[in-house]
Amino acid sequence: MTDTATEQATASASGNAATEQFRSKQRAGAPAADTERVNTLVSELLGATHDIIRRHKVTYAEYDALKSWLIQVGEDGEWPLFLDVWVEHVVEEVANEDREGSKGTIEGPYYVPDAPELPAEATLPMREDEGGTPLLFQGQVRTVDGTPLAGATIEMWHADDDGFYSQYAPNLPEWNLRGTVVADPQGNFKIHTVQPAPYQIPTDGSCGRLISAAGWHAWRPAHLHLKVSAPGHHLITTQLYFNGGEHVSDDIASAVKPELILEPTPVAAGDGREVTYDFVLDKA
Ligand code: MBD
Ligand code: FE
């Protein structure tokens, strides 16, 4: 065995990789400082914190425990994980409340832009012996009024059969289970992949310590991540889940919506499953 083959998946390795990815990405760029807005939001956040301290008579020992935990979150690089698991779902809810078309949900910490471009029918990059039930994920991208969107792109990324994401866990090929599929002139796509496993928040980092200290579970249901886009339309960031899968009804990240649950059926020939799911994009 080589050294890399024995490398362990640790909270700080995945956390710091997610922190680096976030720094290089910075979504739409930082908004210009709006003094009034900052004053309002930060004052209310602090006020809510002060209320909690008074209401629960928080002690110095607890205050120090919080301080040391917050310091450690940064050292573990787990701010993206913490925020995306416990806060992002409300930001997403507010951001998309007026958008028509298919439902979206949170992006999470493990998106990487510019995954290899693939044709309308494609197999995601995977290892020769990739584990997991084969899955054919197919559908069409359309506008709200039903017009097919030629050349829409479907970016897909997901964990493997052990719950690990390429570029955030050791020993996986760079683009494993990540791809940018370009739909055909009718907006159709057919993506061959494998079913991911549920995702467990790393137990050896700050988020894991919080979870066990609070007596919560550490799991997200198995999910596919997607970004679907077409010129002149709002990009949709979403996730899809599997009916009956573990933790579909108690996702630690609160990101499941009824519209996002797939019901794959066994394929006629072979041992895989298939499912059709169409995306409807709202005009920008
Ligand atoms: C994930 O895989 C994920 O999608 C989110 C939102 C948070 C942590 C891990
Ligand atoms: Fe995920």
CB of 84 sitting under 6 A from ligand 1: yes
- Pick the atom of ligand 1 nearest to 159's CA: 2
Q: How far is the CA of 193 from the centre of ligand 2 (A)?
A: 15
Q: Is residue 3 part of a domain?
A: no
38 sits in the region (left: phi over 0; alpha: psi -120 to 50; else beta) called alpha
- Pick the atom of ligand 1 nearest to 223's CA: 4
Q: How far is the CA of 145 from the centre of ligand 2 (A)?
A: 31
Closest protein CA for atom 1 of ligand 1: 108
DSSP 148: B
For 247-269, letters b (16+ CB in 10 Å) and e give bbeebbbbbbeeebbbebeeeee
- CB–CB of 116/125 below 8 Å? yes
Q: Is residue 2 part of a domain?
A: no
Three-state secondary structure call for residue 130: coil
Count of domains for the chain: 1
Closest protein CA for atom 4 of ligand 1: 108
Alpha carbons 24 and 27: distance in angstroms, whole number: 9
What type of residue sits at position 39?
Answer: N
Closest protein CA for atom 5 of ligand 1: 108
Q: Which helix (H) or strand (E) holds 246?
A: none
Which tokens in the block code for residue 155? 């970016």
> For residue 2, what pLDDT is reported?
39
CB of 253 sitting under 6 A from ligand 1: yes
Q: Which domain holds residue 202?
A: 8-284
DSSP 1: -
Q: Would you write out the chain's pLDDT as a tens digit for each of its 284 residues?
A: 334 445 778 999 999 999 988 888 765 567 778 999 999 999 999 999 999 999 999 999 999 999 999 999 999 999 999 999 999 999 999 999 999 999 999 999 999 999 999 999 999 999 999 999 999 999 999 999 999 999 899 999 999 999 999 999 999 999 999 999 999 999 999 999 999 999 999 999 999 999 999 999 999 999 999 999 999 999 999 999 999 999 999 999 999 999 999 999 999 888 899 999 999 999 99
Q: Is residue 1 part of a domain?
A: no
Which residues are CB-contacts of 62 (< 8 A; sequence separation ≥ 6)?
none
- CB–CB of 163/194 below 8 Å? no
- Pick the atom of ligand 1 nearest to 225's CA: 4
Q: How far is the CA of 109 from the centre of ligand 1 (A)?
A: 6
Q: How far is the CA of 187 from the centre of ligand 1 (A)?
A: 28
CB of 240 sitting under 6 A from ligand 1: no
- CB–CB of 281/142 below 8 Å? yes
Ion ligand 2: protein residues whose beta carbon lies under 5 Å: 108
CB of 17 sitting under 6 A from ligand 1: no
Q: What is the CATH number of the domain that holds 59?
A: 2.60.130.10
> For residue 8, what pLDDT is reported?
78
Q: Residue 142's beta-bridge partner residues?
A: 148, 280
Which among 278, 246, 245 is positioned nearest to 263, based on CA atoms?
245
HSE-up of residue 186 (Cα within 13 Å, Cβ side): 8
Q: Is residue 93 part of a domain?
A: yes
Q: Are strands 273-276 and 134-143 parallel, antiparallel or unpaired?
A: parallel
Q: Is residue 187 part of a domain?
A: yes
> For residue 33, what pLDDT is reported?
81
Q: Is residue 141 part of a domain?
A: yes
Alpha carbons 195 and 191: distance in angstroms, whole number: 12
CB of 106 sitting under 6 A from ligand 1: yes
